[in-house]
Amino acid sequence: MKTTEPTKEPLKIVEDATCTFCGCVCDDIQLTVEGSRITKAKKACVLGKSWFLNHEIEDRAPCYLHGKPAPLEDGIKEAAKILYQARYPLIYGLSDTTVESQKVAVGIADWIGANLDTTTSVCHGPSGMAFQGAGESTCSLGEVKNRADMVIFWGSNPAESHPRHFTKYSLMPKGMYVPNGRKDRTCVIVDVRKTKSAKAADLFVQIKPRKDFEALWTLRALANDVELDPEKVALETGNPLSLWEDLMEKMKSARYGVIFFGMGLTMTRGKHANSEGILLLTRDMNRHTRFSCKPNRGHGNVTGADSVVAWRTGYPFGVNLGRGYPRFNPGEYTASDVLARGEADAAMIIASDPMGNFSQPARDHLASIPFVALDPKETPTSRAAAVSFSVATYGINVPGTVYRMDDVPIPLRPAFDSPLPSDLEVLQGIEREVLRLRSAEFR
Amino acid sequence: MAEDFILIPGRSSQQGCGINEGKFGETYQEAISFVQMNPDDMTRLGISEGETIQLQSDFGEVEILARTAKKGELPEGLLFMAYGDRSSRLMGGDTHGTGMPTSKGIDVRINRLSD
């Protein structure tokens, strides 16, 4: 991709910039900005450095209609027309933009009676279902830093997905009740493969693939003094009962335990039942000591997407507004299903790449319908869109608010301006045009 | 010769950095171009480092490079690859009422292209 030459402007330092690559949303980054390029990102991890240093001003038109550059206003009109004329429009994505943009996107979905879904459905959507069934014994990352003397990671590999998780929040920091930092904490990692994170563990437990549910319910049984058959436990989990008994003793003797879980639970056999198992285990542990549980969220503002969609519709994802009121049903109103079943007849994809990561039947259907895409980068989705908007990057060019994985709202401190529109501006334009079409129809 | 395995797609540092550089860029394309295998599985099947193999699931098939996983990282019978176009082609569209396709723990068969 061709980029513009950096301008000869004096160096600018941005203190406490916010990284929005992953759900850790680290807000202590010091950026060195030279013109329209970030040249240093102090304190950022490998993913954060890559995030800040690779979002320059790309030489792209703000809008493409069927692959050809077009005026922004023409794109906005065409996008609104596609969405307004559709009988079953889908609005999807939203986890890599600000809550301000998410709010407008939900508004558009409401006006046009769309099916609304976020990348949560292919991330921790099953955990969202489990929260409704089991509740959530939750905490902030600040509590983890200051209190947790036992930290368990289950089906999560923060060394590669959230590289500062250990050092900023969960293992290394010295906290109020863990003054010696790492020395005061016990770390357990449970996974089907020995990931790069396993090196950080005091105890690594490798379980059989697709047996998380059985392993979690083994621990639940032990927490509730239920007698277990050692042979069955070993057969089902790949580990002897004595290992699970030892782990349960460690968990009971912790003063403050926390379990972080990842998509190793939600994407594999069991899905929401796995998440429910870990939430119920956390609840069980609170009969013995204090325990909390948090999903390790992936995208920078996927937590904000859950919050905004829940605030505006009553449900966190997979919401259908076609009847003029919200209906929630994962498996029916979630994007992957709506597309794979060939139901949507138009779509708007915001900051997401379903053409790159959905199942083939879903991708085939999306390719067959007119759709609108908004993304700072060129992706398989933006390339295939009837209307594609190249937008400025949130947190680097665009201000706003994002929610960290523990539901703490954090402001963005952008580094430099972009000539490209923000997705907020594009979405506000589409909403205005939808309302104009609506008012013309009902005049 | 073909043998059944369980495939775990997931995040890798290289894949995450590649997204930032751009999905059509070299880093991302390289990150999603290979599958990691237990060294004993490779020896047993006679697959050499960097050989192109075919992974086949009930829903699709892809050609991909085979690479040896670090010792102890993967048990026999388990494969790992970075999320991306190839791993998605092996997923089914059914989400079993959850919205989430089974994206990890996918049953796949390894077919050697030279057989």
- Domain parsing of chain A, residue ranges: 11-52, 60-123+300-441, 125-295
- Which residues of chain B approach chain A closer than 8 Å at the C-beta? 6, 8, 10-13, 16-17, 19-25, 59-60, 72-75, 78, 80, 83-85, 88-89, 91-105
The residue of chain A nearest to residue B13, with distances taken between CA atoms, is: A160
Minimum distance, in Å, between the CA of residue A198 and any CA atom of chain B: 9
The residue of chain B nearest to residue A356, with distances taken between CA atoms, is: B85
Q: Cβ atoms within 10 A of the Cβ of A429, count?
A: 20
DSSP state of B31: H
Of A47, A358, A380, the CB nearest to B17: A47
Give the closest residue to B100 by CA, choosing from A334, A212, A91, A261: A334
Separation of alpha carbons A172 and A193, rounded Å:
23
Q: Cβ atoms within 10 A of the Cβ of A9, count?
A: 12
Separation of alpha carbons B3 and A11, rounded Å:
58
Q: Are A355 and A366 in contact (CB under 8 A)?
A: yes
Substitution target from B100, B102, B108 for chain A, most A beta carbons within 10 A: B100
Minimum distance, in Å, between the CA of residue A103 and any CA atom of chain B: 22
Decide if A363 and B88 are in contact by the 8 Å CB cutoff.
Answer: yes
Strands in A29-34's sheet, in edge-to-edge order, are A11-17, A29-34, A37-42
Reply yes or no on domain A60-123+300-441 having CATH 3.30.1490.20. no
Residues of chain B with C-beta less than 8 angstroms from the C-beta of A53: 20
Beta bridge partners of A401: A411
Separation of alpha carbons A83 and A427, rounded Å:
12
Of A266, A341, A357, the CB nearest to B100: A266
Q: Alpha-carbon torsion A201, A206, A210, A212, what sign?
A: negative
Separation of alpha carbons A115 and A276, rounded Å:
26
pLDDT bin (cut points 50, 70, 90) of residue B25 is very high
pLDDT value of position A6: 52
Does residue A420 come out as left (phi exceeding 0), alpha (psi in the -120 to 50 range) or beta? beta
**H or E segment at A350?**
strand A346-350
Domain A125-295 classification at class level: alpha beta
Distances in whole angstroms, Cα of residue A64 to Cα of each of A158, A350, A378: 37, 15, 11
pLDDT value of position B1: 59
Question: What is the pairing mode between strands A68-69 and B61-68?
Answer: unpaired
Of A46, A193, A267, the CB nearest to B103: A267
Identity of the residue numbered B52: T
Minimum distance, in Å, between the CA of residue B55 and any CA atom of chain A: 15
DSSP state of A317: S
Separation of alpha carbons A358 and B19, rounded Å:
16
Minimum distance, in Å, between the CA of residue B47 and any CA atom of chain A: 21
pLDDT beneath 50, residues of chain A = 1
Decide if A193 and B21 are in contact by the 8 Å CB cutoff.
Answer: no
Give the closest residue to A330 by CA, choosing from B94, B101, B99: B99
- Calculate what percentage of chain B has a pLDDT beyond 70: 98
Of A194, A269, A378, the CB nearest to B102: A269
Question: How far apart are the two ends of chain A, measured CA to CA in Å?
Answer: 47
The residue of chain A nearest to residue B18, with distances taken between CA atoms, is: A50
DSSP state of A290: E
Residues of chain A with C-beta less than 8 angstroms from the C-beta of B104: 263-264, 267-268
Decide if B20 and A192 are in contact by the 8 Å CB cutoff.
Answer: no
ipTM surpasses cut 0.90: yes
Decide if A210 and B24 are in contact by the 8 Å CB cutoff.
Answer: no
- Calculate what percentage of chain A has a pLDDT beyond 70: 98
Separation of alpha carbons B8 and A159, rounded Å:
17
Q: Are A380 and A355 in contact (CB under 8 A)?
A: yes
Minimum distance, in Å, between the CA of residue A153 and any CA atom of chain B: 15
Reply yes or no on domain B2-112 having CATH 3.30.70.990. no
The residue of chain B nearest to residue A122, with distances taken between CA atoms, is: B100
Residues of chain A with C-beta less than 8 angstroms from the C-beta of B24: 378
Substitution target from A19, A161, A199, A271 for chain B, most B beta carbons within 10 A: A271
Residues of chain B with C-beta less than 8 angstroms from the C-beta of A117: 99
Substitution target from A164, A266, A360 for chain B, most B beta carbons within 10 A: A360
Minimum distance, in Å, between the CA of residue A432 and any CA atom of chain B: 31
| Domain extent listing, chain B | 2-112
| A and B: number of Cβ contacts within 8 A | 149
Give the closest residue to B72 by CA, choosing from B44, B95, B38: B38
Of A298, A318, A380, the CB nearest to B23: A380
Minimum distance, in Å, between the CA of residue B88 and any CA atom of chain A: 5
Predicted structure pTM score? 0.95
The residue of chain B nearest to residue A55, with distances taken between CA atoms, is: B20
Decide if A21 and B16 are in contact by the 8 Å CB cutoff.
Answer: yes
Of A46, A121, A359, the CB nearest to B91: A359
